[in-house]
């Protein structure tokens, strides 16, 4: 069985609990004709071009934006990865409106079935989840990727008059592992929209308020008893 997990601008594709693929959930349309141009990884690459697009994401902030768009995107994924529709379940953590056309499994039941550790932790778009397999308990805090990205940009706005996009923020977070201070980065000025070079003198100060909530959520758990989701491993593994 394949399990599809929609998160913050990305879809994680599992087979029997093992992560196989991840695919961006961008859907690009022509600005004038409204014709669909690209989905997934191809859409992400086209976004780098200097062309105006309408960009849609099927699920945003834990809500289904469009049932039709979601169905079209899932059909695209099934074709791309040669998956039969009958072999698919969608993982639900928190959605206002449930999936209509596909069977689903709750995040709690998915983790109970496939998690190999006593605890599982993942940071998602709008929340972070900690699953206790022994107690069969899923704890959720409403503090996710978007909150961390906003906090970092607030700090950069207030102190340097610049902003960073998501990919640059994640690159900056990864640099925290190396504990480089001062750190030189290229950011976009909020005063004139131009790219500027800035020097962050104290990188630990930049992250301490954003990361502290994550650390407090998991700090009492024995490292040998906890496993982490793909996004945490990709960007935030230094936190624990």
User: pLDDT for 130-185, tens place per residue?
Assistant: 999 999 999 888 888 888 889 889 989 998 999 998 888 888 887 776 666 677 88
Confidence of residue 14 (pLDDT cuts 50, 70, 90): very high
Per this entry, what is the length of the chain?
240
Residue 106 shares a structural domain with residue 155: no
What pLDDT score does 125 carry? 86
6 and 110: one domain?
Answer: yes
pTM recorded for the entire structure: 0.86
Q: How many domains does the chain have?
A: 2
Does 87 lie in the same domain as 37? yes
For residues 97 and 17, membership in a common domain is answered with yes
Domain at 202, CATH number = 3.90.640.10
* pLDDT tens sequence across 212-238: 777 777 877 887 899 999 988 888 776
DSSP E strand stretches across the chain: 2-7, 10-15, 18-24, 27-30, 36-39, 53-56, 59-60, 63-64, 88-92, 104-106, 119-123, 128-132, 137-141, 162-163, 183-189, 195-200, 226-228
Name the more confident of 200 and 121: 121
CATH code of the domain containing 103: 3.30.420.40
For residues 158 and 109, membership in a common domain is answered with no
């Amino acid at each position: 069985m394949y399990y599809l997990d929609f998160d913050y601008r990305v879809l994680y594709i599992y087979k029997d609990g093992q992560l196989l693929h991840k695919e961006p959930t961008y859907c690009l349309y022509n600005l004038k004709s409204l014709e669909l141009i690209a989905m997934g990884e191809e859409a992400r690459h086209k976004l780098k071009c200097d062309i105006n697009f309408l960009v849609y994401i099927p699920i945003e902030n834990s809500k289904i934006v469009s049932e039709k768009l979601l169905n079209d995107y899932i059909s695209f994924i099934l074709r791309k990865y040669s998956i039969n529709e009958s072999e698919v379940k969608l993982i639900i953590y928190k959605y206002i409106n449930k999936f209509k056309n596909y069977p689903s499994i709750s995040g709690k039941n998915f983790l109970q079935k496939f998690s190999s550790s006593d605890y599982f932790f993942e940071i998602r778009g709008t929340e972070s989840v900690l699953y206790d397999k022994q107690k069969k308990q899923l704890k959720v805090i409403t503090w996710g990727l978007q909150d961390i990205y906003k906090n970092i940009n607030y700090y950069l706005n207030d102190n340097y008059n610049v902003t960073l996009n998501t990919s640059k923020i994640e690159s900056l977070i990864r640099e925290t592992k190396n504990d480089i201070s001062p750190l030189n980065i290229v950011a976009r000025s909020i005063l004139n929209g131009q790219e500027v070079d800035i020097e962050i003198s104290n990188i630990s100060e930049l992250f301490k308020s954003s990361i502290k909530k994550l650390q407090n959520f998991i700090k009492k758990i024995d490292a040998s008893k906890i496993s982490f989701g793909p996004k945490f491993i990709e960007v935030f593994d230094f936190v624990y």
